[in-house]
């Protein structure tokens, strides 16, 4: 049986350091796999779907990063 080994501590540290990147990267991979399986089942897989999925994932990632920075600025202004 194939055994995949990875350093758990490196993965945990990556999750703690950049939660948005890990979340949206894993969501993008899941979306791509879903599109691939759907395309294989339905038989009409187009490259535009993958480009659209990448664009949407990048847009949501940007939105999350900007939102996090704005909330941090508002929070720091409230403490001043």
pLDDT average per 10 residues of sequence, the chain (80 residues): 60 69 78 85 82 84 84 76
Q: Which helix (H) or strand (E) holds 35?
A: helix 19-42
Using a cut of 0.85, tell me whether the model's pTM lies above it: no
Residue 42: closest CA among 34, 30, 52: 34
pLDDT of residue 15: 67
Give residues with Cβ within 8 angstroms of 28, minimum separation 6. 53, 54, 57
């Amino acid at each position: 049986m194939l055994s995949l080994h990875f350093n758990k501590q490196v993965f945990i540290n990556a999750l703690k350091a950049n939660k948005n990147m890990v979340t949206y990267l894993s969501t993008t991979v899941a979306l791509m796999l879903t599109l691939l399986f759907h395309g294989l089942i339905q038989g009409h897989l187009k490259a535009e779907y993958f480009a659209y999925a990448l664009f949407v994932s990048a847009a949501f990632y940007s939105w999350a990063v900007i939102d996090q920075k704005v909330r941090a600025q508002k929070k720091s202004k409230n403490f001043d």
